[in-house]
Amino acid sequence: MIKNAPYRFSDFESIEITYGTPGEMLNTYNSKTRIYHYLTKDNQVLTDTLKMRDNDLLYLHRKAMELGFWNVDDDMTTARKDSTEGKQVPRYILKYTYKEKSKEVTLDADYAGTQKMKDAAKSTIDAVLTMIAEVKAR
């Protein structure tokens, strides 16, 4: 989507992701603190320490640039009539932090906005979650 991102890897500081259902955003990872909280299939929240290598972070920076993450809307949530509607719909909050600025996107899995924007945000989120799984498997 875009070749020259307004964010440079030399200014990169961290990636943070939080995900779950809107009432229970229990899964979190911060590349700066290296702390990963995640919900198991047994509904237990476990804490782990995961260190992403510089190459992992560079890959995620470039993937965000390639997919056009910098151009997506910050708020990609679906409007709800009340607090019970969409209670089980997954929500993702992804934040890339750089020295001078940051980009944070909130995405609901059922977001009905522009498909191209949704795909760019979801693909970036998927790349981060895949990288977390790879780092955890090491």
- Rounded CA separation 93/75 (Å): 9
Q: How confident is the model at residue 83 (pLDDT cuts 50, 70, 90)?
A: low
pLDDT of amino acid 5: 52
pTM: 0.86
Alpha carbons 90 and 23: distance in angstroms, whole number: 10
Q: Is the pLDDT of residue 6 over 70?
A: no
Nearest to 78 by CA among 88, 70, 86, 67: 86
- In angstroms, the Cα distances linking 11 to 31, 78, 116, 119, 120 are 15, 32, 27, 26, 22
**Residue 106 is encoded by which pair of tokens?**
């909130």
Whether residue 3 has pLDDT greater than 80: no
